[in-house]
């Protein structure tokens, strides 16, 4: 079984060697990860041990997790590990399918009313509710809970269904975009090359053929080899990428863009944000709560020579852009619009690349707001869109 597991990891392009695999087998034989108190093997222990031995760089953690999950999918369901089924799974007993007329009849609260009402519900509610229109529960039309419908509420637990929540009450975990993604086409790279600007700098690394010919001719035919510095792309690029939530639908295409950018641009800096830029960003999604980079420091660190590219679907509640405290994850003291204006002012050559189809942009209020904030410099994530944005940034 573990031989197939080894080949699964190699198929996922993880740099796992035979020596490391043998080390894992030795650790298992030594009982480093073995039967628990109920004489059953713990898949969690094996996961931790195998990742510790087989993965040498934390940037490969996400790829390992996906390969591990794909290989061992369903194993825990066939094995008794003595775990209890989470109560939330059992509690979701109702999920309404409302007609368009019924949905239109539900009134949405304003921001201040929504926050104040939630505070009151937390003070008053003493038991679980389902299918109602007032309390925190599931399957109803209340603005608090999950599994139901409300045009504008706070999702507490559960999975996203209607994308109408203005805040989410849960710890959200994202994964980094894979910068080693193999492109099925070179077209994205070709489109990005419109932004290149070459200059010769550094050590003498390549043959100057015209100079060698001229120098040899001047020396009456005696060979005089001339060298000159290699040409490098001197464009500096700052890439800010939206991650998580609705962006999960666009992971493949954003990874292709990210991989192409890392190949084409020597001076590339990147950061992540969620939905809208606020007072901090991060470079590693696993450590985004521990390692935050203040947006003010990023603005100070990079000068106006950098071209700024936002990558995001701009799909969110307008409150997330215009309202203090509007972020779905935490209480931001200043609106996202303020930070977007600071960034576009600091980096005059900027553009926003949107992976959502351009045809749906007019029907999403938040997209229109973002377009105005970036001076209508929003382009679709298509070959034509990338070429147009690169042409704009190269001016």
8 Å CB contact between 342 and 350: no
Query: Is residue 174 assigned to a domain?
Result: no
- Do 243 and 310 lie in one domain? The reply is yes
Query: What is the rounded CA–CA span in Å between residue 43 and residue 29?
Result: 16
- Do 100 and 210 lie in one domain? The reply is no
- Do 370 and 328 lie in one domain? The reply is yes
Q: Find the helix packing angle between 2-11 and 18-29, rounded to 10°.
A: 150
- Do 287 and 161 lie in one domain? The reply is no
Query: Is residue 341 assigned to a domain?
Result: yes
Query: Is residue 143 assigned to a domain?
Result: yes
At 221, give phi and psi (nearest 5°): 95, -10
- Do 23 and 160 lie in one domain? The reply is no
pLDDT of residue 353: 94
| Strand-strand pairing, 267-273 and 280-281 | unpaired
pLDDT of residue 37: 41
pLDDT digits (tens, 9 = 90+) for 8-35: 888 888 888 888 888 888 888 887 765 5
The CATH code of the domain that includes 354 is 3.40.50
Question: Which residues in the chain show pLDDT less than 70?
Answer: 1, 33-41, 73-115, 118-187, 189-190, 193-206, 229-233
Query: Is residue 378 assigned to a domain?
Result: yes
- Domain stops at, among 78, 105, 127: 78
Query: Is residue 178 assigned to a domain?
Result: no
Give the 3-state DSSP-derived string for the chain, with helices as H, strands as E and coil as C: CHHHHHHHHHHCCCCCCHHHHHHHHHHHHCCCCCECCCCCECHHHHHHHHHHHHCCCHHHHHHHHHHHHHHCCCHHHHCCCCCCCCHHHHHCCCCCCCCHHHHHCCCCCCHHHHHHHHHHHHHHCCCCEECCCCCCEECCCCCEEECCCCCCEEEECCCCCCCCEEEEECCCCCCCCCCCCCCCCCHHHHHHHHHCCEEEEEEEEEECHHHHHHHHHHCCCCCCCCEEEEEEECCEEEEEEECCHHHHHHHHHHHHHHHHHHHHCCEEEEEEEECECCCEEECCHHHCCCCCEEHHHHHHHCCCCEEEEEECCCCCCHHHHHCCCCCCCCCCCCCHHHHHHHHHHHCCCEEEEECCCHHHHHHCHHHHHHHHHCCCCEEECCHHHHHHHHHHHCC
- Domain stops at, among 52, 78, 104: 78
- Do 22 and 106 lie in one domain? The reply is no
- Do 239 and 353 lie in one domain? The reply is yes
- Do 31 and 100 lie in one domain? The reply is no
8 Å CB contact between 117 and 109: yes
- Do 34 and 118 lie in one domain? The reply is no
Query: Is residue 180 assigned to a domain?
Result: no
Query: Is residue 227 assigned to a domain?
Result: yes
- Do 305 and 242 lie in one domain? The reply is yes
- Do 23 and 125 lie in one domain? The reply is no
Q: Is the pTM of this model over 0.85?
A: no
- Do 245 and 372 lie in one domain? The reply is yes
- Domain stops at, among 78, 108, 124: 78
Query: Is residue 159 assigned to a domain?
Result: yes
Tell me which residue range forms the domain holding 207.
203-231
Q: Structurally, how many domains does the chain consist of?
A: 4
pLDDT of residue 203: 57
């Amino acid at each position: 079984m573990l031989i197939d597991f080894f080949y699964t990891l190699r198929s996922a392009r993880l740099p796992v060697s035979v020596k490391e695999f043998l080390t894992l087998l030795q650790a298992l034989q030594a009982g480093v990860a073995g039967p628990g108190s109920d004489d059953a093997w713990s898949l969690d222990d094996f996961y931790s041990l195998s990742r510790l031995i087989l993965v040498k760089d934390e940037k490969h953690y996400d790829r390992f997790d996906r390969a591990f999950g794909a290989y061992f999918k369903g194993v825990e369901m066939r094995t008794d590990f003595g775990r209890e089924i989470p109560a939330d799974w059992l509690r979701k007993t109702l999920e309404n399918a409302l007609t368009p007329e019924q949905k239109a009849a539900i009134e949405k609260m304003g921001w201040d009313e929504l926050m104040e009402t939630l505070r009151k519900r937390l003070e008053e509610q003493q038991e679980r509710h389902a299918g109602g229109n007032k309390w925190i529960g599931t399957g109803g039309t209340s603005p608090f809970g999950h599994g139901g419908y409300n045009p504008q509420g706070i999702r507490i637990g559960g999975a996203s269904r209607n994308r109408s929540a203005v805040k989410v009450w849960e710890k959200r975990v994202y994964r980094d975009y894979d910068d080693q993604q193999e492109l099925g086409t070179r077209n994205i790279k070709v489109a990005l090359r419109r932004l290149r600007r070459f200059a010769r700098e550094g050590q003498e690394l390549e043959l100057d053929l015209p100079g060698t010919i001229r120098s040899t001719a001047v020396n009456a035919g005696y060979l005089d080899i001339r060298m000159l510095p290699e040409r490098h792309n001197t464009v500096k690029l700052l890439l800010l990428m939206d991650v998580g939530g609705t962006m999960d639908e666009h992971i493949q295409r954003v990874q292709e863009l990210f991989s192409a950018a890392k190949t084409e641009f020597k001076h590339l800096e990147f950061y992540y944000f969620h939905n809208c830029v606020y007072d901090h960003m991060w470079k590693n999604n696993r450590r985004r709560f521990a390692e935050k980079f203040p947006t003010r420091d990023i603005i100070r660190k990079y000068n106006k020579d950098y071209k700024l590219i936002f990558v995001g679907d701009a799909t969110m509640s307008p409150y997330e852009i215009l309202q203090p405290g509007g972020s779905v994850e935490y209480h931001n003291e200043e609106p996202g619009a303020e930070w977007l204006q600071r960034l576009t002012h600091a980096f005059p050559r900027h553009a926003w690349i949107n992976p959502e189809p351009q045809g749906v942009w007019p029907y999403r209020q938040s997209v229109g707001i973002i377009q105005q904030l970036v001076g209508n410099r929003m382009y679709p994530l298509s070959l034509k869109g990338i070429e147009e944005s690169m042409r704009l940034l190269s001016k």
